[in-house]
A and B are shown apart, each in its own frame.
Chain A
C-alpha cells in the first residue's frame, strides 16, 4: 500500500500536533510540580487554554482523516533497524493501548454519576475539590456579590442607556455618535412588568428566596411606580425623514397616470423625436400596412 501525498501530509500534521500537545502538557506538568510558589492563576488558566487548544487541533485532524487513519496499518520494512530500535518498533506495532491509558479509558468511558443542578453545572464529586453541598453556598455568595453591580445596571436604566457610564460621567455632549438623532436623557427605570426579561432571570431578582430575604429595595419600587406614566421609547425625530415629497405633489405631476412606455421614452432620448411624432409615424406605418394588405 502506498500513501499519496495528502495522506502523508495528514500523518505528518498529526505527528506535529501531537508533539506540540505533548510538549505543552509536559511543561505545564513540570511547572505545577516544580513551581514554588505556584504560578498565578492567570498563567495556569493560560496553560489550560493552550492544552485544550492543542487537543482540539489533534481531534480536528483525527476527525478530518478518520477514514484513512482507522484503516491505517503499520508494518515494518525489512530495511528497518529492528534490533537497535526495538522499543520504538514495539510501540508502533502495538495494537492495544498501554496499561495506564487502558485504565483511563475504562475509568472515563463509564457513565458518570451526574448531579444535574438548578444552576446547570455538572459536578463530578470525585475530583476531590469542593463537595456538592458547598456549591449552593458558593453560588449564594456570588449572587450577593454581583447583585450590587447588576442592580445598578438594570434598575437605573444603564442597561438600556444609549451612553456608557463613563460617557455619562465625562459629559454626553462630547461623545461623537455620528447620529443626528437626539439620544435624549437617561432612560427611566424599568417598569416592573419588564422585569421578567432574561437579565432578570439570569440574576434571579424575582426568586422567592430573595424576596424573603428582603433584598428588593423599597426605594426602587417607588421610583418604578412613578415612571409608569412615562413614554416607553426615546423620540426618534430626525432619524427617518418624513416623506414630505409624497405629501406635497409636484406641480405638473399627475401620479395617477401610468408611466410612459419606456421604449418610447428611450426613443425620444436617443433621437429627440417626440412622442407625438413617434405616434404619427406608427399610425402612418399602420396605414401603409393596411393599404398594402388591401391591394
Chain B
C-alpha cells in the first residue's frame, strides 16, 4: 500500500471556520479523533513494493538491518472527569521514507496492522500496562517485533477531527505532549486530557489530506489518486494551503 498526502497548517483562530468549511465540502460532521502514538524502533516489515528492504536477497546477512520508527496508535476516549481511556482501535503503523524526486504529493509506502485488542481489555488486570496489553493482543510476527523493539520511550497525543471526502481522508489535528514527569509513557497510566501539553504553543492545527492506494504500479490508479488530491488542494486554496513537505521531515529511519 502507498499513502499519498498533502499537508497544511491552520492557525487556532480559524479552526472553527475551517471545520465548518470541511463539513460543508464533505457533507459530514467532524469526527472527533484522539489518539496516542507510541513510537518504537524495529526493522522495516517485509512489505511488497517497499523501496528499502535491504536484506531481501541475503536474509542471512550479518549486517544489522536499518531500524525504523514504527507507531502504535491507540484510539482514546475522553472521560468526563477521569483519565483518558484506551479504545478498541489499536493500529501498528509503518511508514517508509517518502519517495524522492519532485513529486506533486508526498508518496510513501504505508503498512497498517489493526490489532484486535478488545479481549485484552477485558482482562481487568491492573498490573498490566497499556503496552503489555497491546503486546498480548498482537499476532505472532508483530508480537516479536513489539517485544524486540529497542526504544519505546517516545510518545505523543494527536487531538483533532477527521472527515472523509470521496477517497480522501482529511484530518485536522494538533499534537499534544505527555505531562511533564512521565519516565516511560508506554507503561504508565494514561493521563487526564487537561494534563497534556501543546507541542505548538500557538495552538495551530495541522491539516492532512491523505489517500491510500493499493497498487502504486498501476498508472491509472496512481494518476487518478494524484489528480483527486490536487483537485482537493485547488478546492481548498485560500482556506488551507496544502503542500508537500521536505521528505526528510517524514524520515522514519532511526538514527
- Interface residue ranges, A against B (CB under 8 Å): 243, 245-246, 250, 252-260, 262-275
Q: How far is the CA of A185 from the CA of B251 in the complex (A)?
A: 61
9 A-B pairs whose Cβ atoms sit less than 8 Å apart in the complex? A254-B201, A263-B246, A263-B249, A265-B199, A266-B7, A267-B250, A269-B156, A269-B175, A271-B154
Knowing A262-B9, A265-B175, the reply to whether A271 touches B200 (Cβ < 8 A) is no
Contact yes or no, B198 A252, CB < 8 A: yes
Q: Does B245 contact A (CB under 8 A)?
A: yes
Specify which of A252, A257, A266 is in contact with B245 (CB 8 Å cutoff).
A266
Whether the pair B246, A254 counts as a contact (CB closer than 8 A) is no
Q: Is B155 an interface residue (CB 8 A)?
A: yes
Q: Indicate whether B235 reaches chain A with its CB closer than 8 angstroms.
A: no
**Which residues in chain B, 107-151, are within 8 Å of chain A measured between CB atoms?**
none
Partner of B198, one of A253, A262, A271: A253
A258 to B9, CA, bound (A): 11
**Distance, CA A275 to CA B251, complexed state (A):** 15
Would B245 and A263 count as touching, CB distance under 8 A? Answer: yes
Are A257 and B201 within 8 A (Cβ)?
A: yes
- Going nearest first, the 10 A-B pairs with the smallest beta carbon separation are A272-B154, A259-B204, A253-B203, A272-B39, A257-B202, A263-B249, A260-B200, A266-B249, A271-B69, A259-B202
Interface-side segment among B12-20, B25-33, B224-232: B12-20
In the complex, A265 Cα to B95 Cα: how many Å? Answer: 16
Cβ-neighbour of A259 out of B9, B69, B177, B249 (below 8 A): B9
A260 / chain B contacts, CB cutoff of 8 Å: 199-202, 204
Binding site for A on B (CB under 8 A): 7, 9, 11-13, 15-17, 37, 39, 69, 95, 153-156, 158, 175, 177, 197-204, 206, 245-246, 249-252, 254
C-alpha gap A265/B156 in the complex (Å): 12
The reply to whether A255 and B11 contact each other, CB–CB distance below 8 Å, is: yes
Interface of B is mostly: mixed
- The answer for the CA separation of A253 and B203 in the assembled complex, in Å, is 5
* Contact (Cβ within 8 A) A252 B201: yes
Chain B nearest CB: distance from A278 CB in Å? 10
Residue of A nearest to B20 (CB): A241
Cβ of A257: which chain B residues have Cβ within 8 Å of it? 201-202
- A255, A262, A268: the one contacting B156 at CB < 8 Å is A268
Contact for B11 among A259, A265, A267, CB less than 8 A: A259
Q: Do A264 and B249 have beta carbons less than 8 Å apart?
A: yes
The CA of A264 and the CA of B12, in the complex, are separated in Å by 18
Q: Which single member of B198, B201, B252 contacts A270 (CB below 8 Å)?
A: B252
Taking the closest CB of chain B, its distance from the CB of A270, in whole angstroms, is 5
Q: In the complex, what distance in Å separates the CA atom of A78 from the CA atom of B197?
A: 97
Contacts A252-B201, A253-B203, A265-B206 hold; do A271 and B254 have CB atoms under 8 A apart? yes
Taken together as a complex, chains A and B put the C-alpha atoms of A274 and B200 apart, in Å, by 11
* Interface core residue of B95, B197, B198 (most chain A CB under 10 Å): B198
Please report the C-alpha to C-alpha distance between residue A247 and residue B153 in the assembled complex, in whole angstroms. 38
Chain A residues lying within 8 Å of B13, measured Cβ to Cβ, are 246, 255
Q: Within the complex, which residue of A258, A259, A266 is in contact with B250, where a contact is CB–CB below 8 Å?
A: A266
Alpha-carbon gap, A246 to B201, bound state (A): 16
In the complex, which of the residues A253, A264, A269 has the most CB atoms of chain B within 10 Å of its own CB atom?
A: A269
- A271 near B251 (CB under 8 angstroms)? yes
Across-interface contacts of B7 in A (CB, < 8 A): 262, 266
CB atoms of B175 and A268 under 8 A apart: yes
CB <8 Å contact, A272 and B199: no
**What separation, in Å, do the CA atoms of A270 and B108 have in the docked complex?**
13
Most B CB contacts (10 A, CB to CB) among A246, A270, A275 go to A270
Contact of B155 among A243, A245, A255, A272 (CB under 8 A): A272
Minimal beta-carbon separation of A238 from chain B (angstroms): 15
Chain B residues near A264 (CB-CB < 8 A):
249
Q: How long is the Cα–Cα vector from A264 to B202 in the complex, in angstroms?
A: 14
Contact between B201 and A253, CB atoms less than 8 A apart: yes
A52 to chain B, nearest CB (A): 41
Contact A254/B202 with A246-B13, A270-B69, A271-B254 known, Cβ cut-off 8 Å: yes
- Cβ contacts under 8 Å, B197 to chain A: 252
Chain B residue contacts of A250, Cβ below 8 A = 12, 203
Are A270 and B202 in touch, CB under 8 angstroms? no
Is A268 a contact of B198 with CB atoms below 8 Å?
A: no
Query: What are the residues of chain B within 8 A of A254 when measuring CB–CB?
Result: 201-203
Say whether B251 contacts A270, CB under 8 Å.
Answer: yes
**Residues B12 and A253 in contact, CB atoms below 8 Å apart:** yes
Measured between C-beta atoms, what is the minimum distance from A109 to chain B in Å?
Answer: 52
